[in-house]
Homo-oligomer: A and B are copies of this chain.
């Protein structure tokens, strides 16, 4: 006789990895080395729209969070992304990735390549953070639980399959290898501390589902925009 224990709340959160965008057909093809230069460029230019909005999403969470101790740790995300000085930070690193794949800063910054579906998905994420209870918004960030594995695979895939991309351009992904676990650990602490009732846990799970949908939907739009 086997004893089957009911999954814990954390198990249920982690189980969302099955809905993470690493399993999207476009992402599978990316890691298998099957994307063209044009498709890689399209992905980088579109994903920029996500990157540039992340600090605003995190600031919206700060604005809604009444706990200075949580804010004091959460603000690190904004500093990481915007950088503490000109020429530093995640957004800058993404511009360099853009250059490494052959995109000018200008064409990345002016969003000319951004597909409407990408814009809608990212805007929905920022609106979620602005308007939903702050703990749900924190829960929505928990896709970072799954990010380090994806980043490690992506770095390896880019290095072996896309030798035309200057490896210095991959610095963004390398930084996320240590930032994402630290961020996810904090978010998991907040969510498990604040979500004690079944109701609040369901809200957190729904928030994480929503976020998986955001990332997935972005790849749908990119896949369509740069179809072979």
Max chain B C-beta neighbours (<10 A), residue from A65, A66, A82, A85: A82
| Dominant secondary structure at the A interface | helix
Question: What is the CB-to-nearest-CB distance from A226 to chain B, in angstroms, rounded to a whole number?
Answer: 26
Min C-beta distance of A52 to chain B, whole Å: 8
Q: Is A122 part of the binding interface, using a Cβ–Cβ cutoff of 8 Å?
A: no
The CB with the most chain B CB atoms within 10 A, among A52, A57, A59, is that of A59
As for how many copies of this chain the complex holds, the number is 2
- Stretch of A39-47, A69-77, A195-203 with 4 or more beta carbons under 8 angstroms from chain B: A69-77
Q: Is the CB of A130 within 8 A of B82?
A: no
- Listed residue (A68, A75, A126) with the most chain B CB atoms within 10 angstroms of its CB: A68
Is there a chain B Cβ closer than 8 Å to A91's Cβ?
yes
Q: What are 30 A-to-B residue pairs whose CB atoms are below 8 Å?
A: A52-B66, A55-B62, A55-B68, A55-B71, A56-B64, A57-B63, A59-B59, A59-B62, A59-B63, A59-B71, A60-B60, A62-B62, A62-B63, A62-B78, A63-B129, A68-B83, A68-B89, A68-B91, A69-B86, A71-B78, A72-B82, A72-B83, A72-B84, A72-B85, A72-B86, A75-B75, A75-B78, A75-B79, A75-B82, A130-B130
